[in-house]
Amino acid sequence: MAQTSPTVTMMIAAARKAGRVLARDFGELENLQVSRKGPSDFVTAADLKSEKILFEELSKARPGYGFLMEERGAVEGSDKTHRWIVDPLDGTTNLMHGIPHFAVSIGLEREGLLVAGVVYNVVRDELFWAEKGQGAYMNDKRLRVAARADMRDALFATGTPFNGHDASQHERFAAELGRVIPRCAGVRRFGAAALDLAYVAAGRFDGFWERGLSPWDIAAGAVLVREAGGMAQEIDGGDFMKTGAIVAANNALLGPLTQAIRGT
């Protein structure tokens, strides 16, 4: 079993505890309480219960740390150098439709840099975790990004703009997809960005890109990719934690994939 630091051990315990709540709700979909938050953007009782558990567990273990959470937003802490970046349920729409592909995602930021990440695939009981300088793992298995170097052999993942985004974002995505598809073996859209990034780290996908994401969608997965030997950067050269536009792949494919996305 790979050795985890006390911080990552605590993150894993919190993710598993929240995951048990999500698993119960997934098993009782007919009783799931759902409220509408916006077009194709839902918040469920499961989201809120999971976030409450994560907030309580992480606060208890590290009382001074701040938070950035999907439902609660920003919560200031007395320790200004550390911040949890949390998605209590990445893949809400999948869960609501009975699709067993959703996760708990916890990232840790220290002095503005991402230093640790946990992504827990609840239904498959796959625990992805990484810490800066320590590598990336799934349960006790060391992860490495795939070694493919030819775009023609590569399988990529992406995310589509959901209903509610303006037409220009849908048009831009369609153009990007139209440029990437002819150059690769295939493109998948699974509906959970944190898991897409975890799958890149595990070598299941050769790369991933998406725009319009939030920091909690990206933080943990970016650490996983980097610690598995890959690269994660902003599509157009900025800061993906601010713009929500990320591309991730191994060193050989990152450039060609980014060029295809940009149309350069």
SS3 of 249-263: the string is ECHHHHHHHHHHHHC
Q: How far apart are CA 100 and CA 94, in angstroms?
A: 7
Residues 138 and 11 in one domain: yes
pLDDT band at 161 (very low <50, low <70, confident <90, very high): confident
Looking at the structure, tell me whether residues 233 and 258 fall in a common domain: yes
Please count the structural domains in the chain: 2
Look up the pTM and report it: 0.95
103 and 11 within one domain: yes
- Structural domain range at position 194: 151-262
Give the residue-averaged pLDDT of 83-97.
Answer: 95
In this prediction, residue 133 has a pLDDT band, given cuts at 50, 70 and 90, of very high
Confidence band (pLDDT; 50, 70, 90) for 91?
Answer: very high
In one-letter notation, the amino acid at residue 116 is: A
Q: Is residue 1 a part of any domain in this protein?
A: no
Q: How confident is the model at residue 114 (pLDDT cuts 50, 70, 90)?
A: very high
For residues 57 and 135, membership in a common domain is answered with: yes
Question: pLDDT per residue over 176-199, tens digit each?
Answer: 999 999 999 999 999 999 999 999
Residue where one domain finishes, among candidates 118, 142, 166? 142
Residue 87: what pLDDT?
97
Residues 30 and 136 occupy one common structural domain = yes
Do 173 and 221 fall within a single domain? yes
Same domain, 88 and 206: no
User: Is it the case that residue 139 has pLDDT exceeding 60?
Assistant: yes
Grouping H, G, I as helix, E, B as strand and the rest as coil, residue 40 is coil
Give the CATH number, domain containing residue 28.
Answer: 3.30.540.10
Q: Please say which residue of 87, 107, 142 terminates a domain.
A: 142
H or E element, residue 108: strand 103-110
Residue 126 sits in the same domain as residue 202: no
| Judgement on whether residues 50 and 127 belong to the same structural domain of the protein | yes
Mean of pLDDT over the chain: 94
Whether 71 and 47 have beta carbons less than 8 Å apart is answered as yes
Predicted pLDDT at 40? 56
Q: Residue 71 has what pLDDT?
A: 86
pLDDT band with cut points at 50, 70 and 90 for residue 38: low
Same domain for 206 and 251: yes
Residues 15 and 51: their CA atoms lie apart, in Å, by 10
Give the model's pLDDT for residue 209: 98
Task: Write down which residue in 75, 109, 142 finishes a domain.
Answer: 142
For residue 172, the domain's CATH number is 3.40.190.80
Cα distances from 224 to residues 103, 137, 208, 253, in angstroms, run 14, 8, 13, 17
